[in-house]
Structure 1
Amino acid sequence: MKQGADAHFVYPKDVDAFGFDWGQLALTVAPEVNGAQRFSGGVVDLPSGQGHARHNHPGAEEIIFVISGHGEQMVEDEAGTPVTREVGPGCTVYVPESRFHSTLNTGDGPMQLFVVYSPAGPELGLRDLPDFRILKAGG
């Protein structure tokens, strides 16, 4: 865990990332990174044509902010009906507690997102996925 003032300034390249066949997540804010208690978050990188499958985070809300790239974002509505929209740089997506959602990079280049989970913790469940691996910082 980063300590002191360094805990306030974290680049994705400075932390171990969660690697998957569809991309990676570098947690830059989390209890185990810098002691954050009420939320966690980080940078998701999705190569062209890749994305994460439909899933949910029981008991947690999520914010997805599109930094770069273009894609399709699905979030279920109150009735459980999938609602899909084209998203691009500057778009903020709110995923209500426990709602199913998915993201697909439909652009020609990489797509980068910043995601926030509240409360912290849902991202730890990603460690149970069969294609999970740790990508060492700076590697």
Structure 2
Amino acid sequence: MSETFFVYPESVDRFAFDWGHLTVTCGPSVNGAGRFSAGLVHVPPGQGHARHNHPGAEEIIFVLEGEGEQMVEDTSGNPVTEQVRAGCTIFVPESRFHSTLNIGSTPMKLFVVYSPAGPEELLRDLPDFRLVPPPHA
């Protein structure tokens, strides 16, 4: 793999789901990044992804656009839910369950980072997974 330093979302595969899509723009399969992976998530109004976790990985979610309801479990397994909007950074500790719901009237756009790299590849096993090759808008 040649070194790829600059990646635009429309130039790489998109992972589409019933609730929205994820475009991985940095990671082992995109540019050889080994310690983390990252990408853009698009969640249409009224949609959201179900409660899930990433065993062995931490996640950072940064809200670029829109507003939503974000849940992250605390150390006791209790859900902590807060309304979030553009500019908010959400930290999801290793293996914690979390979910996102778009409660606004416009799409939510999120930038996500996983460490270590890899949790995004497990999404390919979900029943509603669809691979959308580039180019896409």
Q: Same fold (TM over 0.5)?
A: yes
> What residue is the counterpart of 2:118 in the other structure?
121
> What residue is the counterpart of 2:88 in the other structure?
91
Distance in 2 between the 1:90 and 1:69 partners?
10
> What residue is the counterpart of 2:55 in the other structure?
58
The SS at the match of 2:46 is coil
The alignment yields a C-alpha RMSD, in angstroms, of 0.8
AA of the residue aligned to 1:29: C
AA of the residue aligned to 2:94: E
User: TM-score if structure 1 supplies the norm length?
Assistant: 0.95
Aligned length: 136
1:136 corresponds to 2:133: yes
The SS at the match of 1:113 is strand
Q: State which of 7, 12, 15 in structure 1 corresponds to 2:9.
A: 12
Displacement, 1:61?
A: 0.3
Distance in 2 between the 1:34 and 1:10 partners?
9
Displacement, 1:66?
A: 0.2
For residues 104-119 of structure 1, the aligned pairs below 5 Å read 104-119=101-116
AA of the residue aligned to 2:133: K
AA of the residue aligned to 2:42: D
Q: State which of 75, 80, 101 in structure 1 corresponds to 2:77.
A: 80
> What residue is the counterpart of 1:22 in the other structure?
19
AA of the residue aligned to 1:75: V
Runs of 4+ in structure 1 off by over 2 angstroms are none
Displacement, 1:83?
A: 0.3
The SS at the match of 1:102 is strand
User: TM-score if structure 2 supplies the norm length?
Assistant: 0.97
Q: State which of 29, 42, 47 in structure 2 corresponds to 1:45.
A: 42
